[in-house]
Structure 1
Amino acid sequence: MIRSACKKIGKSAFVESLLFHQQENSSSVWFVEIDPKRIKHITLIPESSDSLTGEDAYTGVCSGLWNYAKRPFKNHSFYRAVSDILNNEPYHHTAIYKKVNQGRISEKEALRITKKLKWLMNILPNTGYLSQYQLGKMDQTSFLGDIEFPEHEIIVGLDSNGDFVRLAGGKHRLAVAQQVGIERIPAILSIVHENAIDMLPAKRRLVKGDPEDFRPISASGIYAVNMPATL
């Protein structure tokens, strides 16, 4: 039922009201630094939905079925593909290639994804996971409500259990970061379930609309190193 509702978002105001109920006078967005392994789920709501990103996106404290519209990130093909690569599985046996056999993606796309994952697996253990601020990509922006943010930063929600749900951006990097020992990553926290208000991450900064809101939180700049701008 929830999966079906997610497919109808944007076409039905009723469905959207079931998925999101924003608390009045609540629209805060946070820039946070978190353990990537705490992002346990990925939303079933299409990340292109106006409800997740864009000027009409929900932000701040939100109850609703979005809290249940999710699946384990470990089941995502990118996560399983990284695991396959780490276990030296033959390419034609990987989770990505299985999508070719199922007719869901082309072999060209499968090769592109695999190449990107392998590149990240080589890079991230040496450089850490860089924010878009550190990559010098602050000129590429989108909106979360009235907040302008770096376009390719990972966006998460905080569910009622205090676990993070990946909402948009960064799937390749997250799949790799969770499996190669990356301890902290930057992210944008856009929605918080009403039961998790007291579970906000310790390392956070309220986003007020200034590009400097997205600078590294840790004074040591633990992931402040140079990385090719193609990430």
Structure 2
Amino acid sequence: MPKVGRVGKFRSKAASSRNDVIQKSLSSTVPSKENEAETADLDRKELLSRGQKKRQAKREQYLKREKMVMSSLRLKRLEDQKGELDGMDSIKDALSTVSNKPLKNKGKEERINPDEKKTTAPIAKTNRSKQDLTSKEVSHLGLVLQHPAFKSNPFGTIQEHLKNTLSGQAEELEVLAEKKRKQNDVKKADRKEARKERLREAKYQQAKRAGKKGRK
């Protein structure tokens, strides 16, 4: 095996020391990502002039104010949505109150004839009548949307309209029920009178038969 000369040893030592120096320099010159970001921010701040720093501060304040405004708008939107839901709940309560309004009865509750429950709303049977009804309803809806009361308070206007409409229907049903009760009372009186008449006739016939037997 050949011997290693002094020149070879010197060259190998020089190469290893040179590699160590290169690695140390690379490790010292290559910072981490966080260090790079911090260094970049510091360099950017140091490079900014006084006017640029003022503009940057104003921009940061503007962004903060914008964030606060957006958060307040979001809260207001949530409150508006809550108010709309409350309005829908009040409409539901009004509907249930009017629909559950008891009819005035003297005696026990009586059923209304299904024919008498029909409302005055038009019933579309043909396509032509359906189209006419749809066009009328659309035009009526446009007038409602343009009404000042609806624009100022839509839910209150709808609630009042439903109250008036359903209360009118309830009054109509009450009138029909009262009419039906009167008719039933008349029928009951007629049946009662007919029953009394039958009893009188039966008693008369019984007395007549008894008289005939006594004469015999």
Scaled by the length of structure 1, the TM-score of the pair is 0.17
> More relative contact order in 1 or in 2 (CA 8 Å, sep 6+)?
1
Bigger Rg, structure 1 or 2: 2
Pick the structure with more helix per residue: 2
